[in-house]
Structures are given as structure tokens and as C-alpha cells.
Chains A and B, each alone.
Chain A
Amino acid sequence: GDSVTQMEGPVTLSEEAFLTINCTYTATGYPSLFWYVQYPGEGLQLLLKATKADDKGSNKGFEATYRKETTSFHLEKGSVQVSDSAVYFCALRASGNYKLTFGKGTLLTVNP
């Protein structure tokens, strides 16, 4: 079945550091890929998405590129801020399906 594997957390960075959170997936066909962010006490918010191979999703300085050859969708940001502290979830939706399959999440803490 479909699955998503994220790098284990927690990740602790200093402000302005470079961020990478790895995400790989297993799915048949061509799934859509997503990154969601969950701030403390809140629900999930869509951060960015990509719907086909080589697409780059971007939002708020975050980027991720859909790599079909490596089945990956790694999240990157060049300079993190304290306000980026949250849990980040990688997810996929199989082609023609409506369900999201999530990874376990990666807790990011950014210190001033």
C-alpha cells in the first residue's frame, strides 16, 4: 500500500540556518505530494504541494521538488525563523484517490 517515510525528529536549528526535512514515498502511479504544517494547538495547514514529476512547490520561503526517480519530496528552507517552529508532515494522495497518507511528522524547533 501507499506509505510516506519522513526523517526522524526532532530537529533543532538556530535562526537563519538552512533546513532540510527528508521525505520519501511509496505509491503506484503518479501521486500528488504535499507538505502540511501544524503549529502548537492548531490543525494542519497546507504548506505546499506538487502534482506531477519535477514540479516544485513553494510557499513562505519553503520549497520541495517532486522527484519521481528517487520517489522523494524533501522540504527545504534557506533561512529558518523562530516562527517556523512546528510539526511538518509529508503526505501523498494517490492518483484518482481522495485519501491522504501521512508520514509521522517532524518536529522543528528554531532557537533565536
Chain B
Amino acid sequence: DTGVSQNPRHKITKRGQNVTFRCDPISEHNRLYWYRQTLGQGPEFLTYFQNEAQLEKSRLLSDRFSAERPKGSFSTLEIQRTEQGDSAMYLCASSAIQGDYGYTFGSGTRLTVV
């Protein structure tokens, strides 16, 4: 078990470009979450998958954001037409359905939009 892996660790992009992040959860975890953390703030919930089904999307997730989890394994988060306000740390986490094991977070992808 190598934990939750996120790639890339850092991404610098020009405003208006599209970016995609990847998250590989712990293999036996059915639930996968995306959170966004801006400077000086705690993480905020973006979206949640149970297996391959996306069951909830936050109002923070505008139409420019899309997330997928094909086959219930890894997940991708895509941001289209990036804006400077999208600059943040994007955190992925996973958890098991059964029990109360809590989340395991990845190290995050830091996005800077210039």
C-alpha cells in the first residue's frame, strides 16, 4: 500500500489553458474525494465518488470543472479555461466504505495560474 498518489505535484499554467490532475487512491478504498485548499484556509469539499459513480458535486465546482473515475480506480480532475482564482492546492483523498477508517489524503497538486 503506497497511499494516495497525486500527479503532478506542481502545475503552472497560463490563464485560459486547460489542466488535468490525476489521483490514484488506495486500491481497496471505494470512496474517493476531491478537496480544494486556498492559502490560509482549510480544505473545502469539491466532489465525491463511490466506485465509479460521482454522487455529489459542491457548488464550488463550476461548469469549467469536471471529474471522472473510470472503472472505479484512479480519478482525474480537469479544469477548463483556467482563471487566476483557480490557483490552489487540489487534494485527493480516499476511504473505505465499511467502518470509520477516516480519510487518507494525497500530497496534493499545487496549481498556479499566471
Chain A positions within 8 Å of B, measured between CB atoms, are 4, 32, 34, 36, 41-46, 49, 51, 89, 91, 98-105
Q: Which 3 A-B pairs have the closest CB atoms?
A: A102-B42, A43-B107, A43-B105
Partner of A44, one of B31, B48, B105: B105
Question: Could you say which of A43, A99, A101 has the most chain B C-beta atoms within 10 Å of its C-beta?
Answer: A43
Partner of B45, one of A32, A36, A51, A100: A100
Chain B positions within 8 Å of A, measured between CB atoms, are 4, 6, 31, 33, 35, 40-45, 48, 56, 91, 93, 95, 100, 102-108
CB distance from A107 to the nearest CB of B (A): 9
Partner of A98, one of B4, B31, B42: B31
A51 touches B100 (CB 8 A): yes
B105 touches A45 (CB 8 A): yes
A104 touches B42 (CB 8 A): yes
B31 touches A103 (CB 8 A): no
Give CA–CA (A42, B106) in the complex, Å: 8
